[in-house]
Amino acid sequence: MLRTIHNPPMRIFHNDRHSLHHGRHEMFRGELVPCFEVPARADLVLEELKARGFGRVESAAGVDIGLIERVHAPRYLQFLSTAWQEWIALDPANAGRDALPSYWPIRTFRTDVLPASFAARLGLFSFDAGSPITAGTWDAARHGAACAVAGAQRLLEGDRGAFALTRPPGHHAGPDFFGGYCFINNAAVAAQALRDAGVARVAVLDVDYHHGNGTQAIFYERSDVFFASLHGDPHTEYPYYLGYADERGAGAGLGSNLNLPLQRGTGFEVWREALGSALHAIRDAGAEMLVVSLGLDTFEADPIAGFRLRSEDYLRMGEDIAAAGLPALFVFEGGYAVADVGVNAVNVLEGFEQR
């Protein structure tokens, strides 16, 4: 499908409800610790955008739940939409603490039956104990998806680039599960919106330190969305159980999944080579538009990651993505060196725009 591409100031869709999701604690290495994923992450990116006078920041309208249901199972979304109310109904004192799972239906357990127990359903729809559900989780997550869809619409209307500045992040959220601080997979919803609008083949490029297991799971058996990820080697890095190089897709999706795991301690030169391989594969796949899961936890000072990228490297990242020649929607994901996340995020966008 031929489209005229123009280059106005980049449109940035800011989730003005993101701070409604503010977890108190997560389980980390055997103890409850303050959450690494905090509202200040998005707030500091917004401050940096305004300080540099970069782009045009606006809010997004709502999103059709039917579109989200093309990515996530309806029973999972129904659970998320009422989870906080159920949590409070169990005990009014729960208003002062977040909901974290304690049980999981691993091998040989049934997942087709929806338990009556809230605690059992909380475990059924999650894969870790690090992603608290709070009073505002559903509202923040759903509005985040709206930001991603609004950004996708800008590409459809001819913009070269757009940015969905939203949290909670999304790339760990799968068809029917949350985890890794993620509840709705914003990048996947954006990719689906592009497909529904007639884009024949979309690519999702995940540059977060942690493998986008949720995005892979959503598209693994589909040929219309090509997924490429460069990330910490799952032999040693979260989420551990997915992200290996031999995962190439299945069924109709065979060959449409590319994982490029890298060792802890990887610096920008080696990381950039992997990015080049991913972009080359995306071009060969015939992608017409690109969704970038923009994780900034590849930064050398990130407290829960292990690559060695520096702030200036993010300018080069943006330039390399621009050189691929595809309209690109950037979707904010991880990045937990909070003081630096704004500079690093905007550096990627500047590098993209200046190419």
List the CATH number of the domain containing 276.
3.40.800.20
| Positive or negative: CA dihedral 216, 220, 224, 226 | positive
Q: How far apart are CA 193 and CA 234, in angstroms?
A: 30
How many domains does the chain fold into? 1
Residue 98 belongs to a domain: no
| Segments in the chain below pLDDT 70 | 1-6
CA 215 to chain centre: 8
- Known catalytic residue: 172? yes
Residue 69 belongs to a domain: no
Residue 213 belongs to a domain: yes
pTM of the model: 0.96
Out of 14, 18, 171, 172, the active site residue is 172
What does the pLDDT look like over 116-163, one tens digit per residue? Answer: 999 999 999 999 999 999 999 999 999 999 999 999 999 999 999 999
List the structure tokens of 289. 């538009």
End-to-end CA distance of the chain: 24
pLDDT at 66: 96
| Domain that residue 48 falls in | 11-62+138-354
Residue 49 belongs to a domain: yes
CA 41 to chain centre: 14
Residue 120 belongs to a domain: no
Residue 207 belongs to a domain: yes
Residue 222 belongs to a domain: yes
pLDDT at 244: 98
Decide the pairing of beta strands 31-34 and 161-165: unpaired
Q: How far apart are CA 264 and CA 184, in angstroms?
A: 28
Residue 281 belongs to a domain: yes
Q: How far apart are CA 56 and CA 324, in angstroms?
A: 24
| DSSP 8-class letter at 182 | B
